[in-house]
């Protein structure tokens, strides 16, 4: 290699490293700004906040967390929803794999009380599932065609049909056709493509709206440790 070619190669490497450093700095700044905004939001509503991943995923049997190991939570807010239920909102990053880039979600976990069967609900339209979890669930849960707009995976078919073959299922199809959520034990998990801090309240309101519409038949057949909606 001539001296001129060597200098050109060195310059190209320097430029590439410089561009990479700029993108890394911009990404770091965006993440820091997001954490600061969510922290201020938590302060405004009196919730606790941490940027750390505080979850024991082995104790949380959700398909979303099992689907692609290595996911990490951050920007965790914990408090009480408008209906008084304990609720936790957080960012969740699913690592890249098989040519797919990482996925970034906004998740909301809330307490519904009691100990209910496992239920995973995603839109029937595969293009609307983000991510599509069915491959990870086929060996463990039963697929149930409980509603025209949604598919369900469960370990209790009666529970799934009681839950979705009701006004709740029709409300979901009309008002929230891209709904994706899980129930496991006493916990309800909803997830969305990552929301901006100023739109986090939309995710929290969706969780409250879903809980308020759980059919009375569900509470009747699967009593909770406290009374459900009348």
Assigned domain for 175 exists: yes
Range name among 5-19, 92-106, 149-163, 212-226 with the lowest pLDDT average: 5-19
Number of domains within the chain: 2
CA–CA gap between residue 132 and residue 63 (Å, rounded): 11
Report field, pTM of the whole predicted structure over 0.85: no
Q: Which domain holds residue 149?
A: 47-221
Cβ atoms of 230 and 216 closer than 8 Å: yes
Residue 182 CB neighbours (<10 A): 22
| Residues 102 and 187 grouped into a single domain | yes
What pLDDT, on the 0 to 100 scale, is given for residue 37?
A: 95
Q: Quick one: which of 90, 121, 116 has its CA closest to 104?
A: 90
The mean pLDDT value for 148-170 works out to 91
Q: Helix or strand or coil: residue 159? A: helix
Predicted confidence (pLDDT) at residue 226 exceeds the cutoff of 50 = no
Q: Tokens for 53? A: 């991943």
Is 148 a residue whose pLDDT tops 70? Answer: yes
142 with 187, same domain: the answer is yes
Tell whether the model's pLDDT for residue 22 goes beyond 70.
no
pLDDT tens digits, residue range 116-139? 999 999 998 877 777 777 667 667
Identify whether the C-beta of residue 116 lies closer than 8 Å to the C-beta of residue 200.
no
Contacts of 112 (CB under 8 A, 6+ apart): 85, 183, 186, 187, 188, 211, 214, 224
Q: Do residues 130 and 104 touch, judged by C-beta distance below 8 A?
A: no
pLDDT band at residue 97 using 50, 70 and 90 as cut-offs: confident
Same domain, 97 and 173: yes
The encoded tokens of residue 159 equal 């529970």
Q: List, in order, residues 6 or more apart from 202 with CB less than 8 Å away.
A: 195
The pLDDT of residue 6 is 61
Q: Residue 20 has what pLDDT?
A: 43
The more confidently predicted of residues 143 and 100 is 143
Query: Is the same domain home to 88 and 36?
Result: no
**What does the pLDDT read at residue 17?**
45
Higher pLDDT, 65 or 77: 77
Considering only residues 95 and 109, tell me which one the structure prediction assigns the higher pLDDT: 109
* Residue pLDDT, tens place only, 168-225: 999 999 999 989 999 998 899 999 999 999 999 899 999 999 999 999 888 888 876 5
What is the C-alpha end-to-end distance of the chain, expressed in Å? 81
Both 103 and 182 in a single domain? yes
Q: Please, is 178 exposed, middle or buried when counting C-beta atoms within 10 Å of its C-beta (0-12, 13-18, 19+)?
A: middle
């Amino acid at each position: 290699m001539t001296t001129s070619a060597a200098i050109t190669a060195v310059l190209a490497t320097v430029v590439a490293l410089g561009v990479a450093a700029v993108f890394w700095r911009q990404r770091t700044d965006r993440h820091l700004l997001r954490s600061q905004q969510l922290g201020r939001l938590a302060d405004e509503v009196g919730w606790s906040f941490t940027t750390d991943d505080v979850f024991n995923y082995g104790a949380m049997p959700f398909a979303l967390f099992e689907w692609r190991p290595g996911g990490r939570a951050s920007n965790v807010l914990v408090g009480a929803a408008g209906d008084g239920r304990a609720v936790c909102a957080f960012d969740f990053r699913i690592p890249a794999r098989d040519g797919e880039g990482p996925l970034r979600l906004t998740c909301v976990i809330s307490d519904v009380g009691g100990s209910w069967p496992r239920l995973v609900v995603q839109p029937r339209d595969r293009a609307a599932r983000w991510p599509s979890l069915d491959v990870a669930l086929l060996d463990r849960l039963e697929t149930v065609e409980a509603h025209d707009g949604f598919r369900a995976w469960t370990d209790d078919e009666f529970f799934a049909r009681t839950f979705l073959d009701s006004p709740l299922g029709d409300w979901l199809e009309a008002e929230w056709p891209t709904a994706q959520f899980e129930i496991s034990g006493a916990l309800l998990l909803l997830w969305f493509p990552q929301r901006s801090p100023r739109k986090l309240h939309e995710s929290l309101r969706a969780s409250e709206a879903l809980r308020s519409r759980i059919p009375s038949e569900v509470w009747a057949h699967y009593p909770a440790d406290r009374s459900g909606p009348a």
